[in-house]
Amino acid sequence: SHQVDQFLFFTNSTRGEVVTSQVANYRHQEHPGFQDFGEFMLRGNGGTGYVRLDWFTPKGLGVWGDTRLIVEGTEGYLEVRKNIDIGGRDGPEHLFLVDGDGIEHLDCRDMELPYGPRIVDDVVHRTETAMTQEHCFLATDLALQAQQQATWLEGAPA
């Protein structure tokens, strides 16, 4: 999960654990075993976080899929909304920062994103500029643990 990678990066965590996770098939009962909802909580040696993933969202949302990452800090928290701001701002790539001074919204669409070119360069040149192998393995391991440990929620919500 990209959200696990981002959690580790934002918290500067080198260790982590999945506190809890759950999945469900809320809107597609005709496909048993399908998962259109998942959420999990993470604890790292640099912070705590929450991830929520909604796939095949209601048609009224206007986008396919909605992902959220919330990272708790000592002074406040941040929320990454990659697909949509349900508050009505246009486009994807929203970052919200909440602290003692208030709420700040950052539109990240036009921000430089060096990660993509760095990861391609790492693959080609066998370097670790985008992330270390340890970081990659930890992010992958935590995402797989969240899936494996997930409690299956039965039925659609009321």
Where residue 35 sits, what CATH number does that domain have? 3.30.360.10
Residue 156 has pLDDT above 70, yes or no: no
Question: How many structural domains comprise the chain?
Answer: 1
For the packed helices 133-149 and 2-11, what is the interaxial angle rounded to 10 degrees? 120
pLDDT in tens, 118-154: 999 999 999 999 999 999 999 999 999 999 999 999 8
Q: Look up the domain containing 66 and give its range.
A: 2-153
Lowest mean pLDDT among 54-63, 94-103, 146-155: 54-63
Contact 37, 53 (CB under 8 A): yes
pLDDT at 157: 62
Would residue 158 count as lying in a domain? Answer: no
Would residue 59 count as lying in a domain? Answer: yes
What is the side-by-side order of every strand in the sheet holding 151-153?
Answer: 102-107, 94-99, 76-81, 66-72, 47-54, 37-44, 16-24, 151-153
Would residue 140 count as lying in a domain? Answer: yes
Would residue 73 count as lying in a domain? Answer: yes
Would residue 89 count as lying in a domain? Answer: yes
**pTM for the structure as a whole:** 0.89
Question: What are the C-alpha distances in Å from 145 to residues 19, 112, 135, 151?
Answer: 10, 32, 15, 12
pLDDT at 122: 93
Would residue 87 count as lying in a domain? Answer: yes
Coil vs helix vs strand at 155: coil
Residue 3 has pLDDT above 90, yes or no: yes
Question: Which distant-in-sequence residues (6+ apart) come within 8 Å of 145 by Cβ?
Answer: 17, 18, 21
User: Which of 49, 51, 46, 50 is closest to 11 using CA atoms?
Assistant: 46
Would residue 50 count as lying in a domain? Answer: yes
- Average pLDDT (42-57) is 94
Would residue 31 count as lying in a domain? Answer: yes
Residue 59 has pLDDT above 60, yes or no: yes
